[in-house]
Structure 1
């Protein structure tokens, strides 16, 4: 009898453990999945170009974790992630340690906040090749 009781208790323990695992799996399966960020091609088919703020940003809401992909001719353009002051003055300040991307196909994952991008080639930013994006 004693042996039978131990075996029975062991069986109950296994059954309980399996039930707990099944419940945990069900809870995980029903939990909302963490959303992956959206990927946006800056300028869509036109690519990284001038006056994007007047037409490309319309209707878009960015979230932290979204990815901006900048496509451009690397012989003619670049993308500098600058401060608000750099954006307003169209400069890349060494003091800000602004990253400047030059591959022609650069991806940037947005943290929460407002982010400023310019083309640092002479005259391009002043001609409207810049973009300010706020990620919520």
Structure 2
């Protein structure tokens, strides 16, 4: 019988440890306003420079939705300022996007905007 109680205590302890670890992982996530006070606008492509991003961090894109949007793209589309089929297009003007591990690319696909630096590339560790 005592062996069964020990196993239950061990299992409960392990579950609690996992919950605590998960809590700390979530608690470490940061929120960044893209472009700072100027928001998501032209010439924002250098905004990520010097910042360290982690998977799970949230990017907040603030912009006028009548004249801009945010499109999650791949590297080739980022470099060529093109929108691939089935790309996720955000249009609210207050979009919140969680970063995934690895490369994350975003552009505005309104005519000429990406070419004017309305794009960012972020590597999240």
What TM-score range do you get, normalising by the shorter chain?
Answer: 0.7 to 0.9
1:118 is matched with which residue?
A: 107
Contact 1:83 1:98 in 2 (8 A): no
Q: How do 1:6-21 and structure 2 match up within 5 A?
A: none
How far does the alpha carbon of each residue in 1:47-92 deviate from its partner, in whole angstroms, 9 at most, with x for none?
00122232x2232100010000100000000000011111111110
Structure number with bigger Rg:
1
Runs in 1 of length 4+ with deviation above 3 angstroms?
A: none
2:49 is matched with which residue?
A: 58
2:25 is matched with which residue?
A: 35
Which residue of 100, 103, 108 corresponds with 2:92? 103
What is the rounded CA distance, in whole Å, between the counterparts of 2:68 and 2:100 in structure 1?
24
Contact 1:41 1:47 in 2 (8 A): yes
Q: Mind listing any 5+ residue stretches in structure 2 that lack a counterpart?
A: none
Residue 38 (structure 1) shift: 0.5
What is the rounded CA distance, in whole Å, between the counterparts of 1:122 and 1:52 in structure 2?
16
TM-score (norm 2): 0.79
TM-score (norm 1): 0.73
Residue 113 (structure 1) shift: 0.7
1:45 is matched with which residue?
A: 37
RMSD across aligned positions (CA):
2.3
What is the rounded CA distance, in whole Å, between the counterparts of 1:58 and 1:82 in structure 2?
19
Q: Mind listing any 5+ residue stretches in structure 1 that lack a counterpart?
A: 1-12
